[in-house]
Amino acid sequence: MGKEILLEHRNRIDQLDEKLIHLLAERFEITKAVGILKAEQGMPAGDPEREAQQIERLHEIAIEVGMDPEFSVKVFRLIVDEVIRHHVRAAEET
């Protein structure tokens, strides 16, 4: 019985991991378009004010759902750092 429950949990985790990857791919597709627009407009790759607003917003959401807010910030920072790297590359290619 314990093994069946474990397998069910693992199956659900696998499904969620797949959804996370799909959501990240969708997010990066949108941020790629933003990066191209920023490059065309001569705008900087990063936007510290926007990032600070997002961190505050995600921090609050994490608390609401019972997640460690510091973890949510780490995940967001990882994603944003990758987005900025893409934006820099887009600017160099423009």
Residue 72: domain span: 2-93
Name the percent of the chain lying above pLDDT 70: 100
* Count: domains in the chain: 1
User: H helices within the chain, ranges in order?
Assistant: 2-41, 48-65, 69-93
Widest distance between CA atoms in the chain: 60
Q: What is the rounded distance in angstroms from the CA atom of residue 52 to the CA atom of residue 35?
A: 18
Q: Give the CATH number for residue 31.
A: 1.20.59.10
Q: Which of 28, 79, 86, 17 minimizes the C-alpha distance to 54?
A: 79
CA 17/CA 94 separation, integer angstroms: 34
Question: What is residue 74's predicted lDDT score, i.e. its pLDDT?
Answer: 94
Mean pLDDT, rounded, of the chain: 92
